[in-house]
Amino acid sequence: MSILWHLLPLFSALPVILTCCFPRQIRFDILVRGHEKYEEGEGMDYSENRTFFYDEIMNCTLLRGTPFGFPMEIFTNYSSGIEYTVTDECAMRVINGGFNKMCLPSNAVLQRTVRIPLSVKEVSVYRANVSDYTGVLQQEYGVIQERDSCYFLWSKTEGILNDFGLRGTFSETLTYQNIQTLSENGPVFEIPGKCHDV
């Protein structure tokens, strides 16, 4: 399973210093493609579709996907400090962190600007190094600016794997599609039905 299922901090930026320009309420589909290779020679390619709901006003996120072909939802309510993971059953856990705003890392550097084929839109490509428990992740972001907001076209992460005592490397690319703003207080941010009896 992709290491980023648990680390889905999404970032955004404008080419000019404004580093937090995503709409405060947004929904988008994500096409995930990745490759993992372990030092022992084993490796795997994977791909998956996800849908992500992000609401900075309600202080909630919802991630829907099918890792390994099994439906999963992760609903995180940062106001209550509870995260609900729903598969065949519901699991709840207390979260210690606060809401992750969609912002470009402070050390991101603009690398180049490219034009999308058959489009007038330009993509600003940023790179940044971000530390996590496995070491340093190298991240790249393709960002499109529209008026005073922006959105991702893609993001790519490369880093070191250290799962269950196995070491290796991974590369994962997220392509963002069907981007829509959300209306306030949408029903998507409700405690999942399976979790009411937990």
The per-residue b/e assignment along 181-190, b for 16 or more CB within 10 angstroms, e otherwise, is ebeeeeeebe
Give the pLDDT score at 171.
Answer: 93
* Percent of the chain whose predicted confidence (pLDDT) is above 70: 85
Give the pLDDT score at 198.
Answer: 59
194: exposed, middle or buried (Cβ count in 10 Å: 0-12, 13-18, 19+): middle
Do residues 87 and 66 touch, judged by C-beta distance below 8 A? Answer: no
Cβ neighbors of 87 (< 8 A, separation 6 or more) are 70, 71, 72
Nearest-angstrom CA–CA distance, 33 and 149:
26
Say which residue, 137 or 16, is predicted with more confidence. 137
Band of residue 1 on the pLDDT scale cut at 50, 70, 90: very low
Give the pLDDT score at 59.
Answer: 87
- Record the pTM: 0.73
pLDDT tens figures, 26-51: 888 999 999 989 887 888 898 989 99
* Percent of the chain whose predicted confidence (pLDDT) is above 90: 24
Give the pLDDT score at 34.
Answer: 92
pLDDT tens figures, 95-147: 887 777 777 888 889 999 988 787 778 899 999 988 777 677 899 999 888 77
Distances from the Cα of 167 to the Cα of 90, 113, 130, 132, angstroms: 31, 35, 19, 15
